[in-house]
Structure 1
Amino acid sequence: MIIDLTTKCKMELIEPWLRRQENKHIAMGHVGTHLDTYLKSQIPLEYFKRRGVLVNTTAFSEKREINKNDIDLENIKKGDFVIFRTDRIKKVYGTKEYFENHPQLSHELIKELCHRKVSFIGIDTAGIRQGEEHTPADKLCEDNNIYVIENLSNLDKITSKDFLVYTMWIDDKEATGLKCKVICEELI
């Protein structure tokens, strides 16, 4: 089964925010499903196809940070695309409710994923950390050749433990956010 994990944006929700942005080109890179690349590193082309690992945190992620004790770390291997399902994306993307106090990963978990050398950390929220901690967390990951992909959708449709994730992005020398198309292929 093929599942599109890319969030479709309702521009009428984005346009008021976009009008307030100084650099609309940079801002548009951070709309919908995208990966953050603040350090402007070259993403290896082999990252296009990765083994996926889904971590379902829907039972608690709105109440507290997601920490390393919440996941089976032994299942996470070098090069994996680790996806965190919080179901925040079900609060309409682009609304104030979606962005405020969204679920986030603990600092300890982020460091552990860096240690394990995964390729991507995906999440169905506006980021792996909130507010002023957003960009430093993304930079820490990127400095470890890991890219954060935000605003994933349809994670509830992944039913297999064995799946591949295909990620397509367009390089941009200026943008700090690169729009992505993310597709899951279930193997069983």
Structure 2
Amino acid sequence: MKYDLTTQVDQCLMEQWLSTQENRHIATGHVGTHLDTYEKSVIPLDYITCPGILWDVSDISEDREISLSDIENLPIPEHAFLFIYTGRSEKEKYGTADYFRDHPQLSNELIQWLTNQPLRFLGIDCSGIRRGKEHEPADRLLEKNGIYVIENLSGLNQLLDIDVFKVYTLWFDDPVATGLQCKVVADGRNYV
């Protein structure tokens, strides 16, 4: 079974937010499920498919930062897509103030550790791996190491009982935008 993990965006909410932005084109790239490319590096076509694993931190993500000690003993396959399931997209509707307010985040130590892992993508079901002014530098650090952050995923709970699965990620290149709209689909069969 295939699962579309792309967040459906309420067009009215999107238009309200876009009307407040200085550069509508740049802002549109950061709506809904998207990957951040602040360094404007070229994403290799091989990244379209990869093994996926899910890390469930939904029991702690609203209480504190997700730390390196929380990920101990998680085997990461080569060229993987690591999904971080916080549960935020199930608790709050995408586009509302509560969805973005104090969203779960990864510790800086964990982000640094992830730079040395065999990842292609790091996906999360909230609006970023860090908040505020720390958002962009965290994404840049991973991108410089060939890892792209994909934000605002949904439906990750459907993958809780699958060890390793196949992931298809499609994105739309844009020479200017720092956020690229994308579609992420997981094949629920165990990855072989």
> What TM-score bracket applies, with the shorter chain setting the length?
over 0.9
**2:168 pairs with 1:166:** yes
- How far apart, in 2, do the equivalents of 1:135 and 1:73 lie? 28
Counterpart Cα distance in 2 of 1:77 and 1:111: 18
Counterpart Cα distance in 1 of 2:107 and 2:78: 20
Counterpart CA distance in 1 for 2:130 and 2:73 is 20
Once residues 27 and 75 of structure 2 are traced to their aligned partners in structure 1, the CA distance between those partners, rounded to angstroms, is 35
Rounded to whole Å, the distance in 2 between the matches of 1:128 and 1:153 is 15
Post-superposition Cα deviations, 1:38-71, rounded to whole Å, max 9, x if no partner, equal 0100001101011111000110100001111112
> Residues 74-115 of structure 1, C-alpha deviation per residue, up to 9 Å, x if partnerless?
501331100000111120000000001000011111111111
Can you list the C-alpha shifts for 1:128-186, whole angstroms capped at 9, x where unaligned?
00000000000001111110000000001113112011100011001000000000012
Measure the CA separation in 1 of the matches of 2:100 and 2:50: 28
In the aligned structure 2, how far is the partner of 1:14 from the partner of 1:28? 9
Structure 2 spans left out of the alignment, 5+ residues: none
Query: Secondary structure, in 3 states, of the residue corresponding to 2:35?
Result: strand
In the alignment, which of 166, 186, 189 is matched to residue 187 of structure 1?
A: 189
| TM-score, normalised by the number of residues in structure 2 | 0.95
CA positional deviation for 1:22: 1.0
Measure, in 2, the Cα distance between the counterparts of 1:63 and 1:49.
33
Tell me, which stretches of 5 or more residues in structure 1 are unaligned?
Answer: none
**Structural RMSD (CA):** 1.0
Q: Which residue does 1:102 correspond to in 2?
A: 103
Kindly report structure 1 stretches of 4+ aligned residues shifted beyond 6 Å. none
Identity %: 52
Alignment partner, residue 156 of structure 1: 157
Are the aligned partners of 2:50 and 2:81 in contact in 1 as well (CA < 8 Å)?
yes
Q: TM-score, normalised by structure 1?
A: 0.97
Find the residue that maps to 1:186 and give its secondary structure: strand
